[in-house]
């Protein structure tokens, strides 16, 4: 796969409004009680095993070390994280949106943090970025009544930075921009004009996960 084809593939994320609404209507798996003070809702990257992914795990661990005695729960967005992005990404966006709605209904005092790596970053973009064309995709942001539940957003290796009309999440969301951090490693193949695949997997080692956790802790 050549570089431009690879970027095109990782940039191929689209959120169907019907899928989003379906996700909000459905109830994710029950949250253990009592409700945590903070919950991180994180979408793993393409091809990662179900769970938070290595970046998500490191981010949650770093955040827990920075919020004192407050409890931090974690929810792994339930989606395929596969290479058929036109199916995979909408499923992730619907599940993430559904989890936000469920937490707002059942744990209204819990502060929510949204996060994602690679395709997972695109999933989070698609429920937070303003509804404007990004390439040939149009995000559908979360309903306005959920905004106050979301304290911060942190994404890594975001492919929607590198599509026509795209850019870092803070510049693309009038609602969540000041609460967002969008980390793109130098020369990352998928979020910049760079050519480095190793850079795309370097967010823990290069300190950007810790930097994002500092930012998020400051919003909590």
Q: Per residue in 3-28, pLDDT tens?
A: 343 444 344 433 333 344 344 444 44
Give the active site residues.
118, 188, 200
Q: pTM of the predicted model, to two decimals?
A: 0.84
Distance separating alpha carbons of residues 105 and 25, to the nearest angstrom: 12
Q: State the pLDDT confidence band at 41, using cuts at 50, 70 and 90.
A: very high
Distance separating alpha carbons of residues 123 and 87, to the nearest angstrom: 12
Report CA dihedral (183, 184, 190, 194) to the nearest 10 degrees: 180
What residue spans define the domains of the chain?
A: 3-219
Q: What are phi and psi of 216, to 5 degrees?
A: -65, -45
Q: What's the mean pLDDT in 21-39?
A: 60
The owner of tokens 């040939």 is 136
Residue 116 pLDDT: 97
Mean pLDDT of the chain: 83
Residue 138 pLDDT: 74
User: Could you tell me the strand order of the sheet in which 72-76 lies?
Assistant: 72-76, 38-43, 111-117, 150-156, 180-183
Give the pLDDT confidence of 71-115 residue by residue, as tens digits.
999 999 999 988 877 788 888 999 999 999 999 999 999 999 999
Residue 31 pLDDT: 42
Distance separating alpha carbons of residues 2 and 14, to the nearest angstrom: 22
Q: State the pLDDT confidence band at 136, using cuts at 50, 70 and 90.
A: low
Most trustworthy range by pLDDT among 57-66, 89-98, 165-174: 57-66
CATH code at 3-219? 3.40.50.1820
Residue 151 pLDDT: 96
pLDDT of residue 53 exceeding 90, the answer is: yes
Q: Which one is predicted more confidently, 25 or 180?
A: 180
8 A C-beta contact, residue 157 and residue 188:
yes
8 A C-beta contact, residue 203 and residue 157:
yes
């Amino acid at each position: 796969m050549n570089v431009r084809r690879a970027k095109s593939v990782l940039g191929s994320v689209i959120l169907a409004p019907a899928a989003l609404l379906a996700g909000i209507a459905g109830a994710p798996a029950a949250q253990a009680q009592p409700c945590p003070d903070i919950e991180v809702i994180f979408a793993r990257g393409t091809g990662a095993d179900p769970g938070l992914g290595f970046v998500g795990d490191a981010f949650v661990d770093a955040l827990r070390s920075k919020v004192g005695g407050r409890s931090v729960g974690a929810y792994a967005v339930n989606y395929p994280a596969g290479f058929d992005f036109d199916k995979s990404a909408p499923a992730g966006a619907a599940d993430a949106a559904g989890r936000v709605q469920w937490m707002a209904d059942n744990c209204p005092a819990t502060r929510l943090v949204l996060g994602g790596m690679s395709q997972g970053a695109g999933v989070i973009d698609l429920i937070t970025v303003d509804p404007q064309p990004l390439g040939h995709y149009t995000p559908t942001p979360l309903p306005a009544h959920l905004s106050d539940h979301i304290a911060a957003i942190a994404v890594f290796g975001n492919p929607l930075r590198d599509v026509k009309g795209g850019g870092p999440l803070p510049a693309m969301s009038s609602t969540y921009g000041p609460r967002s951090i969008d980390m793109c490693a130098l020369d990352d193949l998928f979020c910049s004009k760079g050519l480095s695949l190793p850079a795309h997997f370097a967010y823990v080692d290069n300190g950007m996960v810790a930097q994002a956790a500092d930012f998020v802790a400051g919003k909590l």
